[in-house]
Amino acid sequence: MSIEAFDVVDLIRVKRDGGELSTEQIRWLVDAYTRGVVADEQMAAWAMAVFLRGMAPREIRDLTFAMVDSGERMSFADLGKPTTDKHSTGGVGDKITLPLTPLVASFGVAVPQLSGRGLGHTGGTLDKLESIPGWRAKLSNEEFLAQLRDVGGVIAAAGAGLAPADGKLYALRDTTATVDSIPLIASSIMSKKIAEGTASLVLDVKFGSGAFLPEQERGRELAETMVRLGADAGVETVALLTNMHTPLGYAIGNANEVRESLEVLAGGGPSDVVELTLALAREMLALAGLPDADVEGHLAAGKAMDSWRAMVLAQGGDPDAALPSARESETVRAERSGVVTELPALPFGIGAWRLGAGRSRKEDPVLHAAGIDLHVRAGDEVAAGQPLYTLHTDDPERFERARAALEGALVIGDAGDPVADGGPLIAARIAG
């Protein structure tokens, strides 16, 4: 039996009492947990101590790099083209990755987008794309690199070999009420992105009712922490702080979000989805060496749509196939005339989840046709009897719980009443 360098109980005690762990202690802790020497209950205690006491910037950096070093690193050095990636902290109706990746790829830039699945009220990019008949999320490293070289854009599942320590810790945090800790969120996101090997990264860090961190100040703190981690790793990183007080676009779900993304790629779509897609594309292309790229022109000329079709075909999907439609639908109408003064994201995210668009556990299936289509936005004038939103599911027994989540969420006031929309869509840009 080998003798370990440290005693995990001592490390838990240090964090519990507000102390700092050394670089060697953090590296040992991550390695020992990955090897199974540190038990889940011990790591859970340490994570709770971090949640309550926080971490110094140096500790967050050490934790991030230790998780990167727990597994393999990808390299795109032989691609012969610049690489850039984007990560969103997630929200309601956030389908931006779908139009954004092919738009950026249409400029000859490689976009290695390793994405995840939805959990709770925030949707997963892979769940959305799996609405497309035949499309597959799992690619070998060879397939991934070949698609980057030949097509430019890839949206795929991250392999188990990238930052495995983060995979273990992420699952533990989800069951121990330690998810919304800035040191743990930042190290989790950035360890995977650094291990992924991209040269540059744009972060979409959300605040508001439907975000991971509702408070704008905490969103900014998370963005600044991640930008600093990127710089420390040699990954040029920029963050946009964006508003998730109300849902993005009109579609919340999986198949219906793909439909809305196709509208954007065809030159239409909701103004907020288009605005954020274009803003993130400009940031990504600037980091890739194309600061003057005509992103609007590529959308209008259909070049982004061409890239989308090539990406879907490369992963076995049929870009012309019909997307799933729900067997059951129910429309909620306005009881009075007036102005929509409140349309908070969170209840609609929960409502779509309860209809089957999301999952409670990672292993649960999703209903690809389930979700909500909004017919109005905050600030819109409505007439009595006008459709406000439509619920979709294959299981009509789900309607009752979804309606309960949405009870009182959409508020219709009088003309001149203040509208709760959280302010501008893009609140700040944060760079190193």
Q: Quick one: 8-54 is in which CATH superfamily?
A: Transferase, Pyrimidine Nucleoside Phosphorylase; Chain C (1.20.970.10)
Q: Is 173 known to be catalytic?
A: yes
Q: Is 70 known to be catalytic?
A: no
From 86, 87, 128, 309, active-site residue: 87
From 188, 191, 200, 307, active-site residue: 188
Whole-number Å distance between alpha carbons of 306 and 320: 12
From 27, 192, 245, 359, active-site residue: 192
Res 410: pLDDT: 97
- Please state the domain extents for the chain: 8-54, 84-320, 328-413
pLDDT digits (tens, 9 = 90+) for 294-325: 999 999 999 999 999 999 999 999 999 999 99
- Which sign, positive or negative, has the C-alpha torsion 388, 392, 396, 399? negative
- Which sign, positive or negative, has the C-alpha torsion 80, 86, 87, 92? negative
Res 121: pLDDT: 62
Q: In which residue ranges of the chain is pLDDT below 50?
A: none
Res 190: pLDDT: 95
Q: Which fold has domain 328-413?
A: Aldehyde Oxidoreductase; domain 3 (3.90.1170)
Of residues 125, 134, 186, the one with CA closest to residue 153: 125
Q: Is 359 known to be catalytic?
A: no
**Do residues 182 and 59 lie in contact, with contact meaning Cβ atoms separated by under 8 Å?**
no
Res 120: pLDDT: 59
- pTM greater than the 0.85 cutoff: yes
Q: Is 53 known to be catalytic?
A: no
Helix (H) or strand (E) holding 389: strand 387-393
**Do residues 128 and 100 lie in contact, with contact meaning Cβ atoms separated by under 8 Å?**
no
Tell me whether the CATH fold assigned to 8-54 matches the one assigned to 328-413.
no
Res 180: pLDDT: 84
Q: Is 166 known to be catalytic?
A: yes
CATH class of the 84-320 domain in this structure: alpha beta
From 166, 232, 373, 421, active-site residue: 166
pLDDT digits (tens, 9 = 90+) for 13-49: 999 999 999 999 999 999 999 999 999 999 999 999 9
